[in-house]
Structures are given as C-alpha cells and as structure tokens.
Structure 1
Amino acid sequence: IEDSMRGHDVFVIQPTSPPVNEHLMELFIILDALRRASAGRVTAVIPYYGYARKERKTQPREPISAKLVANFITLAGADRLLLFDLHAEAIEGFFDVPTDHLSPHRIFSEYLKTLNLKHLTIVAPDAGGGRRAEAVANDLGAPIAFGYKRRDDEQSVEVIAVSGDVKGRDCVVVEDIITTGGTVSKLAIALRQQGANRVLIAATHPVLTGDAMDRLRKADVEQVIVTDTVPIPAEKLGPPLTLLSVAPLLAEAIIRVHENRSVSELFQQ
C-alpha cells in the first residue's frame, strides 16, 4: 500500500468468488497491511461470501468453513463488515465485530416492475429461502409459492413438488446463489409441469460453474436476473442472463457507515 493509511477510515471491497482461496488470501494480506499501517478503522466489504454454504455440519466430521473464514477475516484486521445477501443469516453471528447485512430485494423488485408480468407469483426454492422470497413478494404485492426438494448429494437436487398457486401465472424464482444451476433448473421444469405461464429466475450471486447456463436454457427459463456481486466471464453473458448492478446500494451503505448513520434505514424507506 503506497499511500499513508494512518488514521483513515478504509473500505476494502473484495468478493470472495472463485477462485475463492486466492481471493480470501488477498483479502487477509490487505487487511493485515492496513492494520500494520495504523488505519483508523477498516471495513471489509464482501459482496459474495465464499464458503457461505458451509455454515453448519450436514455430516459427521465436516468443518464449518463459514465460521473459520469469519475468524480469519477478523484476525487479519477487519473492524467491521459489509455483507451482501448471505446464504444463511446466522453467518452474521460468526463475527465478533459489527456487521451490516445488505439485501438485494429492492434491486430485483424495481426491475421486475418494468416487466409486463401478469398474475405474478414469487417462488422460494425451499423453506430456507422463504424470507428472501417474501421480501421481494412484499415489494410487489405478490403471493408466494414454495419448492420442495430432495438433495441426493452436493451437486444433485431433485425437485419433487411445488406448493402454491402457479397455474397460469408468471413465476419468479428468488434464489441467493446459482452454482451448477441444478436446483433452479429442476424447479423451473416443475413449475412448467404445474402450469406456470412464464418462468424467470432472480438470483443474487451468479457463480455459474460448468454448464450451468446450458441447464438454465434447457429448462426454458425466460430470464435469469442476477447481480454483479460475482464477476461473470464474457462467454456467459447475453440471453437469458440479465445483469443488475449492486454498486449504488453498496456506495450508499459505505457512505452511511463512514458517517456513522443507520444502514438498516435503507430497507425501511
């Protein structure tokens, strides 16, 4: 770090998207350098939190990697964090420093209002995504449906039913992370089988590994609406992908933290 940081209020913006370990190590080194440079306060701004899906043990002898990463970030020198649509809200509790958790629901709902959607239903892929879907549904005054899935292993998900009124309706599946696209693709197919009219997906973090985009196209998804919390390779851009920016929301949150104003008020207006 070439410039003096002594006494400064510093914000380090670093998404920990793939390659996750490289990006995490970069973050740790920068935080350590700022701490040793006597920065007044250091806020780690993490639009995408790597290892977020490992917030609990699902099998014996598994690590809780999300907690371990939180320990490392704090140890490296972060005084507070700005986080964006965590896979599980409980991850906030893994940190021993103040955190602010930003939600993308206004970004999605404002965009969806520009589309000519009729008889709209918001769909949560599972019960765990209910609060995320509810936030978008409340903005739009739409009902909610739920998908029920059986996870055979980490990369294979079978949707077996959809609970809620979807027949003849335009459905928007609200998800936090798309990795392989397996969950949302099978849910889209299930929605079609139950008579849904149009099917769109709104997902915050487009990790999009392997042939995820091919799966989504084969599922006849009209639009996959994502944000720029994760860099997307040029070859994956274009239909059906629609990219929305989180920059204005992050910028406003950073200003509020710097001025010691409420961040939660952003979602109460």
Structure 2
Amino acid sequence: MPAITEPKLISGNANLSLAKSIARRMSMHRGMQVGLVDARVERFNDQEIFVEVYENVRGEDMYVIQPTSNPANDNLMELLIMTDALRRSSAARITAVIPYFGYARQDRRAKARTPISAKLVANLITQAGVDRVLTLDLHAAQIQGFFDIPVDNLYASPIFALDIEHHFKGQLQDVMIVSPDVGGVARARELAKRINAPLSIVDKRREKAGEVAGMTVIGDVKGRKCIIVDDICDTAGTLCKAAETLMEAGATEVHSYITHGVLSGPAVERVQNSVMKSLVITDSIEPTEKVKEARNIRIVPTAPMFAQAILNIWNGTSVSSLFETETLVPIYEGMYQRD
C-alpha cells in the first residue's frame, strides 16, 4: 500500500555531497522539491556529538544518509544519535542509508579471542531504533543476517557493467575480469557474466598480516585488458601489486573497479605511481581533494541508484529490480548509452 507521507531525507557529516545529490535526483523523479531536513549535527568542545532537528518529523518516513567511513567511530555515533533524535521525535519509520558499512571486514572470528564487530555494530544500529537498512556492496553478504530488521544490499556491478561497456566499447572481446584474491571470485564472476567476459584470479600468499609474500595469476591474461574487481581499496598495496603481476604475465592494460574507495595512508600516491591505467570507484565514501585531483582515479555516482532505491522502499515496490543493468540504464540517462 503506497505511503501517504512524502519520504524525508536527513544527513550527517560523513558524505553530505552524496546526500544532496540523492535529494536532487529524487526531486527529478518526484517532479517536486525534495530537500534535506533542516538539522544540525555538531560537536561540543569535548567532541561529544549533538543533534538538533529543526523540522517536524512526527509520523514521517525518514531516511538517514550516513556512511560509517573514516572517522568510522564518529560517523557511526552520528548515525546512532540522529536515529535516537528522530525516534524521540515520533518519526513513523527510520531507514538508515549506509552507502559504506564500516566494520564490515570484522564479520567473523579469524582467530581466538577476537570480536565480531560487524555484529556488534548491527546490534547498535537496531537498538538505536532503525527500522530498515539500505547499503551498498557489503564486504560479506552474511552481514545481512546480523540484523533482525530488513536489509537491502545494493550492488555496484550493474553500474560498473554500464561503465565498462561505455569506456571499452568495441574492445570488450579483449577484456578479462580479474579477482584480486580467491575470496572475491563470486563478486568478479558476477561482473564477468554481465559483460560476457572471461575470469582470472590473482592468488596471493601472505607470510604475515599486511605483507604479501607472492602472487600467482590463475588464467591466461596475455594480450588482455585486465579489470580488477573488488569491494574495498584501503591502502592499495595489494591492488598495485596485483596490477604489476598481471602486467608481468602479459596483460596489455590493467584497470580496477572498486566499490568503496577507502584510500587511506599512501593509497592515492601508490595508485598514481602504479602501472594501473585507471582506478574507478564510487562516491559511497566522500572523496578527498587528493582523490579528486588524481589523474588516474575516476568516480562514478551512486546517487541515481540510491534515490531510486529510497523511492522504491517508500512506495513498497521492489528494490531487487535495481540489481539488473537494464533497470539502471534509464536511471543513469545521459551518462551511458547502449546500442
């Protein structure tokens, strides 16, 4: 049954530019102005977070746009405190729109006496009063099961498929999709199927945490334009090493498509100095000035997809329709044209 109230958006400080882009896209779809709810999310001198919502939200369908990216703890607390403010202001439903779900890499106990932090964060979000979560490319699909509320996990692969078809037009027969490790094979295979390309794997061995001892390419990449696919690029060490290994194995070009550009520490410099021709990321994490200025880093927008997903949730229609590349073609009108 369609909702009577309009969807209302509110944003923390983590990625305000993405929130504004989502609002603009929703305005286009709705044919009426959709803005961000007027609020302040500030810090006291001791860095305590304070939230004040200036508009009436009683009985409203609220969407809190807040990735829990660096600084992860501050942004997570902003999300929790905004949710509490909305819940205590009698909002009818609160959906947390988390383009990048921090702590997702801590989804299991890899060794004794370690936490499962992703489950703890899921509990915090649920207990704060969130009714539903909308996110993008969770590091591990099973994290959806950590929540006792509905979770919609969108995928970047349909957008990446459109982008690859556009930028490699007439060259798709030379393209090979590469998974940078065995654990990412399912994600890489999904994209390879969409563009009908073969799949290769870079197998890495570690002698100790954070250090890659060696890499082996599984598959023939000679004469191929290789596209590395992954969900997170943090320090970019493994990614740049994988690109070198592929070039040594005979690849003509190496490009990378990574959903979440964490790009911490020396990552941007490593990418700029690497053999990679391009690194394509989404704006799930607000890019720094260094990222924007990097000659071989390109950013594809997620606002059109998130705007449509929010409208689908509000209308009570299918979100999974956005998993298909064909559904995204009209949403990304003007950016990508298909024959």
TM-score relative to the length of structure 2: 0.77
Q: Determine helix, strand or coil for the equivalent of 2:113.
A: coil
The alpha carbon displacement at 1:138 in A equals 1.3
Q: 1:89 aligns with which of 141, 151, 155?
A: 141
1:109-155: CA deviations, max 9, x gaps?
Answer: 11111223451100011222122112211111101101111234443
Q: 1:9 aligns with which of 61, 73, 76?
A: 61
Q: Determine helix, strand or coil for the equivalent of 1:142.
A: coil
Name the structure, 1 or 2, with higher relative contact order (CA <8 Å, separation 6+): 2
2:113 maps to 1:61: yes
- Rounded to whole Å, the distance in 1 between the matches of 2:213 and 2:311 is 43
Q: 1:120 aligns with which of 171, 175, 198?
A: 175
* Cross-structure match for 1:142: 197
* Cross-structure match for 1:246: 302
What are structure 1's unaligned runs of at least 5 residues?
none
The alpha carbon displacement at 1:187 in A equals 0.8
- Rounded to whole Å, the distance in 2 between the matches of 1:21 and 1:157 is 28
State whether residues 159 and 183 of structure 1, in contact with CA within 8 Å, keep that contact through their aligned partners in structure 2: no
Say if 1:94 and 1:82 are closer, same or farther in 2 by CA, change over 3 A.
same
The alpha carbon displacement at 1:159 in A equals 4.4
* Cross-structure match for 1:28: 80
State whether residues 272 and 295 of structure 2, in contact with CA within 8 Å, keep that contact through their aligned partners in structure 1: no
- Rounded to whole Å, the distance in 2 between the matches of 1:225 and 1:96 is 34
Q: Determine helix, strand or coil for the equivalent of 1:138.
A: helix
1:45-101: CA deviations, max 9, x gaps?
Answer: 000011111101112111111111010000001001001001110111100100100
Q: Sequence identity, in percent?
A: 45
Q: How many residue pairs were aligned?
A: 269
* Cross-structure match for 2:333: none
Say if 1:243 and 1:171 are closer, same or farther in 2 by CA, change over 3 A.
same
Q: 2:250 aligns with which of 180, 183, 195?
A: 195
* Cross-structure match for 1:234: 289
The alpha carbon displacement at 1:158 in A equals 4.0
Say if 1:153 and 1:86 are closer, same or farther in 2 by CA, change over 3 A.
farther
* Cross-structure match for 1:256: 312
Q: Determine helix, strand or coil for the equivalent of 1:70.
A: helix
**Which 4+ stretches in 1 moved above 4 angstroms?**
none
The alpha carbon displacement at 1:37 in A equals 1.1
- Rounded to whole Å, the distance in 2 between the matches of 1:17 and 1:154 is 22
What are structure 2's unaligned runs of at least 5 residues?
1-52, 327-339
Query: Could you say which structure has the larger radius of gyration?
Result: 2
Amino acid at match of 1:155: G
TM-score relative to the length of structure 1: 0.96
State whether residues 74 and 97 of structure 1, in contact with CA within 8 Å, keep that contact through their aligned partners in structure 2: yes
- Rounded to whole Å, the distance in 2 between the matches of 1:108 and 1:164 is 22
Q: Determine helix, strand or coil for the equivalent of 1:121.
A: strand
- Rounded to whole Å, the distance in 2 between the matches of 1:178 and 1:154 is 16
Amino acid at match of 1:183: T
- Rounded to whole Å, the distance in 1 between the matches of 2:141 and 2:213 is 25
The alpha carbon displacement at 1:24 in A equals 0.3
Say if 1:75 and 1:52 are closer, same or farther in 2 by CA, change over 3 A.
same
State whether residues 200 and 217 of structure 2, in contact with CA within 8 Å, keep that contact through their aligned partners in structure 1: yes
- Rounded to whole Å, the distance in 2 between the matches of 1:105 and 1:259 is 24
The alpha carbon displacement at 1:165 in A equals 2.1
- Rounded to whole Å, the distance in 2 between the matches of 1:85 and 1:156 is 25
State whether residues 150 and 159 of structure 1, in contact with CA within 8 Å, keep that contact through their aligned partners in structure 2: yes
The alpha carbon displacement at 1:266 in A equals 1.6
The 5 A counterparts of 1:63-212 are 63-116=115-168, 117=171, 119-212=174-267
- Rounded to whole Å, the distance in 1 between the matches of 2:100 and 2:206 is 23
Moved more, 144-153 or 89-98: 144-153
The alpha carbon displacement at 1:179 in A equals 0.4
Q: Determine helix, strand or coil for the equivalent of 2:167.
A: coil
Q: Determine helix, strand or coil for the equivalent of 2:166.
A: coil
Q: What is the root-mean-square deviation of aligned Cα atoms in Å? A: 1.3
Amino acid at match of 1:40: A
1:208-256: CA deviations, max 9, x gaps?
Answer: 0111122223331000000000111112223110110000000010000
